[in-house]
């Protein structure tokens, strides 16, 4: 199987797997215990914290380990001070659902999938306490103007959170330069195991714990730390970022040359370098995904957390993409291990599958 679904999850890197295995055998103590085995585990966790902090450009004490991006998003949004929240229509469900539990305003995006900072400014209220705008969209890869919005948040006296799950490990991330107060990441998006993530919490930010029962993680996230997962995520964080933009650009060029009636969503705005979101007029995306799977290629119809949904992608809907085209859209996401030969083969398989499906489609003339 040639794997083109890295935005859903990534293969565990050998370096991360080795770190995980070593932690299971060597650092089995509870990191809250004061005996030698416990302190060995604590040392491993704190070394890992420093590695993740280096990836984000922050101090180690500003990193809170979580079970993944969803928990990090929930902690940021539900743990922030009570008051009005501003977010966008294209956020991950972990953000939208959490914001839905608060007094929230959801702002629109333009046809390219980017939010206009002026829309954020217009949504401000005297009681606005938090603005949450993702760094990179999980379906289109489109990058948001986070630094500009963070400046608006500072002027308004509000906290700024960004869901960086699809950005970390794919582009350079410097939370200080971005100006954010809170930033979520998930290890399995950059070749660490599933079940571990982190939330950057700027020093001085008051954040109420959402998981209680202990004083772990500076009293922000109760529960014994997942030592093997944390150590493995740190190993993955230290790896050089995969070089995918030439492959992604070549893929899109070949698709546009060989296949008619294709739309690449967000193509003319900044994106993460590994993601293509393509609509093929006149077909159903699920049929195309199945055809490619049978041919040995793994792609997706969009966000993995929304698989099985009958309505079109909420991201494409927010962008104003017509429902028929939204239902004809797939996501191709590349990563560590993707080769030029993989790309060429995928284009050939796409050309064949799209042509066959269009011949069978009454919607394509």
| Active site members | 305
CA–CA gap between residue 337 and residue 294 (Å, rounded): 21
CA–CA gap between residue 231 and residue 4 (Å, rounded): 26
- Name which of 271, 216, 207 is nearest 49 in CA terms: 216
Q: What is the CA radius of gyration of the chain?
A: 21
Report the relative pairing of strands 262-264 and 84-88 from DSSP bridges.
unpaired
185 in helix, strand or coil? strand
Could you tell me where the DSSP H helices lie in 262-360? 285-294, 314-318, 323-326, 340-360
Task: Return the exposure string of 300-328: e unless at least 16 CB atoms fall within 10 Å of the residue's CB, then b.
Answer: bbbbeebeeeeebbbbbebbebeeebbbb
Task: Return the exposure string of 47-74: e unless at least 16 CB atoms fall within 10 Å of the residue's CB, then b.
Answer: ebbebbbebbebeeebbbbbbbbbbbbb
CA–CA gap between residue 4 and residue 18 (Å, rounded): 24
16 in helix, strand or coil? helix
């Amino acid at each position: 199987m040639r794997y083109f679904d890295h935005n859903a999850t990534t293969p565990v890197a050998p370096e991360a797997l080795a770190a995980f295995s070593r932690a299971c055998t060597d650092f089995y103590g509870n990191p809250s215990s004061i005996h030698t085995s416990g302190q060995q585990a604590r040392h491993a966790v704190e070394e890992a914290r420093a590695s993740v902090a280096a990836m984000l450009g922050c101090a180690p004490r500003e990193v809170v380990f979580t079970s993944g991006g969803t928990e990090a998003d929930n902690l940021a949004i539900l743990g922030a001070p009570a008051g009005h929240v501003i977010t966008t229509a294209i956020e991950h469900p972990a953000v939208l659902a959490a914001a839905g539990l608060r007094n929230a305003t959801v702002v629109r995006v333009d046809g390219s999938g980017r939010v206009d900072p002026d829309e954020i400014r217009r949504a401000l209220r005297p009681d606005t306490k938090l603005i949450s705008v993702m760094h990179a969209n999980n379906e289109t890869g489109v990058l948001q103007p986070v630094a500009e919005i963070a400046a608006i948040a500072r002027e308004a006296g509000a906290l700024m959170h960004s869901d960086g799950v699809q950005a970390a490990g794919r582009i350079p991330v410097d939370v200080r330069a971005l100006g954010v107060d809170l930033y979520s990441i998930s290890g399995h998006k950059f070749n660490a195991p599933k079940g571990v993530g982190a939330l950057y919490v700027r020093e001085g930010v008051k954040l109420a714990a959402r998981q209680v029962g202990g004083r772990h993680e500076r009293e922000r996230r109760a529960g014994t730390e997942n030592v093997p997962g944390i150590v493995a995520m740190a190993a993955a964080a230290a790896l050089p970022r995969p070089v995918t933009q030439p492959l992604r650009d070549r893929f899109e060029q070949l698709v546009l040359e060989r296949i008619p009636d294709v739309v690449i969503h967000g193509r003319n705005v900044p994106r993460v370098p590994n993601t293509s979101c393509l609509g093929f007029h006149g077909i159903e995306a699920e049929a195309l995904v199945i055809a490619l799977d049978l041919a040995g290629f793994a792609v997706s119809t969009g966000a993995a957390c929304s698989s099985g949904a009958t309505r079109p992608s909420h991201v494409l809907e927010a962008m104003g993409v017509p429902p028929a085209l939204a239902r004809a859209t797939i996501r191709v996401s590349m990563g560590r291990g993707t080769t030029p030969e993989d790309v060429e083969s995928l284009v050939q398989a796409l050309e064949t599958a799209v042509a066959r499906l269009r011949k069978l489609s009454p919607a394509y003339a």
